[in-house]
Chain A
Amino acid sequence: MNATLTALAVIFTQLSLVAFGGGNTVLPEMHRQVTDVHQWLTDADFAALFALAQAAPGPNMMVVPLIGWHVAGAAGMLVSTVAIFGPSSVLTAVALRLWRRFKDNEWRRAVQAGLVPVSVGLVTASAVLIVQAADHTWILLAISAGVALVATTTRLHPLWLLAAGAVIGWSGFGQ
């Protein structure tokens, strides 16, 4: 059990520090580690856990606590959660301090302004990839398009739109 917990800690600490651009970028490596290297889960298990984490609220790395729980119960969940969120958070806190120290520095302003277009490109890329992953039928694509339109043009709380999507999905119409 201790060996398993140590392995979980090592794997998710490494993934935490190389997850440039967020959780989706390290999914292939995470999959390789837990299904191939350690064989804790089958391919089908991994896919099911990932779908669940997407349907649940929260940041998109919530598949990690679920994998930890599946592999080693409550202790596995705790170790995996701290390992995936801890190291990157410490790095962010340190980076922010440096960032603020140079607040009125001319190069900092240039870096900050220059990162905006890249940031817009990355979020747009995520949107494209998520739409591709989620929308397998015309009705699902229509739900995405309708939600995008309403969310862009009104200030309706997003939870109402999610509820509408879930209800249309539940009916099975078009699926």
Chain B
Amino acid sequence: MALGDSEHAGTGTAELPPTTSAPTVGDLFRGFLLLGLTGFGGVLPLAHHMIVERRRWLSGQEFTELLGLCQFLPGGNIINLAVAIGMNFRGIAGALAALIGLIAAPTAIVITFGVIYARFQSDPHVVHMFAGLAAAAAGLLVSVAIKIALPLRRRPIAIGIAVICLAAIAVLQWPLVPTMLVLAPVSIVLTRRIGA
């Protein structure tokens, strides 16, 4: 399993400009294949790492905006993001390459895990290892939430909307569709009027 590659430049965490040359169909397939292979516990943390920080296909702002569109549509957010990025750079061929790249390896791995787990599920070490892995994956998702929330820090109304959304989904556990149908238009109108 490839742990970082030659493109892993030691640049700082400041806003990085996107690259000028668009990725090819092959680049898209390889990029998302690597994401699928290494994206333990959800791909979003690694997707941000690869697309914004390492390969710089999109700027941080473009990433958040495209993710916003993908979250608004049905389907897995990262699945939609792969389709959208593929489509964006190389049309339907790019979308297919990104999508197939993203799901091919995880599908094979998850089936293999199913077979292995069925054989070793009585071993406490295996159970504990999966628990530790899941906990680390949860920590990565917390880090992504912090990273995408930070640009809002001087925008009180935007923070308010994000907090209401968080409370509605995570605390009150309201259904997503009606919550989005109310919050999205409110957020759009407020952002436009006040420049929040």
Q: Could you count the A-B residue pairs with CB atoms below 8 Å apart for me: how many are there?
A: 359
| Residue A127 lies at the interface, judged by CB distance under 8 Å to chain B | yes
Q: Residue of B at shortest CB range from A137? A: B131
Whether A22 and B136, one on each chain, are in contact in the complex, defined by CB atoms closer than 8 angstroms, is no
* Contacts A121-B164, A128-B166, A162-B140; A23 near B76 (Cβ below 8 A): yes
Which B residues are CB-close (under 8 A) to A168? 132
Q: Is A30 engaged at the interface, CB distance under 8 Å to the other chain?
A: no
Smallest CB–CB gap between A43 and chain B, Å?
A: 16
Q: Restricting to A118-175, which residues have a CB under 8 Å from any CB of B?
A: 118-131, 133-136, 140-141, 143-148, 151-152, 155, 157-162, 164-172, 175
Q: How far is the CA of A99 from the CA of B13 in the complex (A)?
A: 30
Asked if B106 and A135 sit within 8 Å, CB to CB, the answer is: no
A56/B106 in contact, CB under 8 A: yes
Is the beta-carbon distance between A85 and B110 smaller than 8 angstroms? no
Given A92-B80, A157-B4, CB of A115 within 8 Å of CB of B69: yes
A interface majority secondary structure: helix
Given A114-B192, A118-B184, A158-B45, verify A19-B75 contact (CB < 8 Å).
yes
- In the complex, whether A112 has a CB less than 8 A from a CB of chain B is yes
Task: Say yes or no for B41: interface residue by CB 8 A criterion.
Answer: yes
Are A145 and B139 in touch, CB under 8 angstroms? Answer: yes
Task: Flag whether A48 is at the interface (Cβ < 8 A).
Answer: yes
Confirm or deny: B97 has a beta carbon within 8 angstroms of a beta carbon on chain A: no
Closest CB in chain A relative to B120 CB, distance in Å: 12
Q: How many residues of A contact B (CB 8 A)?
A: 95
B55 CB to closest chain A CB, in angstroms? 14
Most chain A C-beta atoms within 10 Å of own C-beta, residue among B1, B76, B83 = B76
> Chain A residues in contact with chain B, CB under 8 A?
16-23, 25, 48-49, 51-63, 65-66, 69-70, 77, 81, 85, 87-89, 91-93, 95-97, 99-100, 110-131, 133-136, 140-141, 143-148, 151-152, 155, 157-162, 164-172, 175
Q: List 19 A-B contacts (CB under 8 A).
A: A18-B177, A19-B76, A22-B77, A23-B76, A56-B113, A57-B41, A61-B76, A92-B87, A110-B188, A115-B68, A118-B180, A121-B164, A121-B165, A124-B165, A127-B145, A130-B138, A131-B141, A158-B45, A158-B46
In the A-B complex, the 3 residue pairs with the closest CB atoms = A169-B132, A58-B106, A165-B136
